[in-house]
Chains A and B, each alone.
Chain A
Amino acid sequence: MTGMTLIVKTTTRLIVGFIVVFAASVILHGHLTPGGGFAGGSMLACGFVLLLLAFGKKETHKVLTEPGAATWDSLGALGFLCIALLGYVAGVFFTNFLPHGTPFTLISAGTVMWSNIAIGIKVAACLFAVYVVLAAFRASES
């Protein structure tokens, strides 16, 4: 898989930054606007897949490799579990122990935003990994 034509590469170069920024916005504002970790994470994975389709394997591996995706996947899952376990600080499993802050601001709602970030990282990495193993480098590469 070596990538596509110059037109596709130029368009991708223009667009992919916006996709990543929008996905980050959806993840970070998950407690304020529609969306959240899963939606933003799958958008982020779509951005990576676009990069892989347009530029090919070598260029994409500068951003994210297959073991890297597995590592980020595990880190996201462990982060979410850590947030769950840190609930014991204030009482029981999954207590919302952080201060809730003022509503309608970015830093509010306690652990919800951090859970969203962890889930977003996890979902983005695992969907990219599943794309790579299922579809990307099969018959054309081996």
Chain B
Amino acid sequence: MITAILLILLAFMIIGSIIAIETKDLLSSVISVGAVGLGLSVVFLLLGAPDLAIIQVAVEVLTLIILLRVIITREDVTVAHRYRYAEVFATSAVLVFGGIFIVFAWVSFRQLPEFGGPLLTVAREYLGSGFSDVNAPNLVTAILLDYRAYDTLGEATVIFAAIIGALAILRKTGRIHDDRNDIDS
């Protein structure tokens, strides 16, 4: 039952991604990206990962708002040049490499254990003694912020550096305003 729902959602997400890539209208493209993200959050929910589902919904909404604002405010028109030979070459290259990937992925995924099957050594350790070690009923948070807090510190540093970089590049103060070379208008 859950497998059928997951397959339907997967098809929905793949169709949404194709629409997002292929459509000419940027607004429709952004809305398709949002639909794919919401489908992904439902998939997380069905697979029993509510933490990820919550994060996916919240971040997806924020990303969608940012993209919509940018698209509505800036009226950019993308002009697609279509060269027949280059396109044929690109498509055939994608098909060849996709085929090779699918063949090898099929062979190697057959070797993997069953979905959610035998627990790995580390996971068994976490699941067995996580609650008594940390006293946190939410094991995901216990792993993120106790066992692997160093990892989380790295993630936080990455986000921090990215935001500082964005603020530094896109800042207003310190920019010389010149009407002739105003890239904003």
A binding-site residues for B, Cβ under 8 Å: 26, 30-36, 38-39, 42-43, 45-46, 49, 53, 70, 73-74, 77, 80-81, 84, 93-94, 96, 100-104, 108-112, 115-116, 119, 122-123, 126-127, 129-131, 133-140, 142
Residues of A within 8 A of B157 (CB): 77
Instruction: Give the distance to chain B from A29, nearest Cβ to Cβ, in Å.
Output: 8
Q: Are B141 and A108 in contact (CB under 8 A)?
A: no
Q: Are A36 and B141 in contact (CB under 8 A)?
A: yes
Instruction: Give the distance to chain A from B142, nearest Cβ to Cβ, in Å.
Output: 7
Instruction: Give the distance to chain B from A33, nearest Cβ to Cβ, in Å.
Output: 6
Q: Are A103 and B54 in contact (CB under 8 A)?
A: no
In chain B, positions 137-171 with a C-beta closer than 8 Å to chain A are 137-138, 140-142, 144-146, 149-150, 152-153, 156-157, 159-160, 163, 166-167, 170-171
Which 6 pairs of residues, A with B, have the shortest CB-CB distance?
A135-B69, A34-B50, A109-B136, A31-B136, A42-B58, A126-B163
| Chain B residue with Cβ nearest A81 | B153
| Chain A residue with Cβ nearest B55 | A39
Known A32-B137, A104-B137, A116-B141; judge A129-B167 contact (CB<8 A): yes
Q: Are B138 and A31 in contact (CB under 8 A)?
A: yes
Listed by A's residue number, 23 A-B pairs whose Cβ atoms lie within 8 Å are: A31-B142, A35-B50, A35-B51, A35-B54, A36-B140, A36-B145, A42-B62, A43-B58, A81-B153, A84-B150, A84-B153, A94-B149, A101-B135, A103-B131, A108-B135, A110-B134, A110-B146, A116-B145, A126-B159, A129-B163, A138-B73, A139-B73, A142-B172
Residues of B in contact, count (CB < 8 Å): 45
Given contacts A81-B153, A134-B66, A142-B172, 5 further A-B contacts (CB under 8 A): A39-B58, A73-B163, A133-B170, A138-B184, A142-B185
Q: Are B145 and A42 in contact (CB under 8 A)?
A: no
- A-B pair count, CB < 8 Å, reads 152
Q: Are B166 and A133 in contact (CB under 8 A)?
A: yes
Instruction: Give the distance to chain A from B141, nearest Cβ to Cβ, in Å.
Output: 5
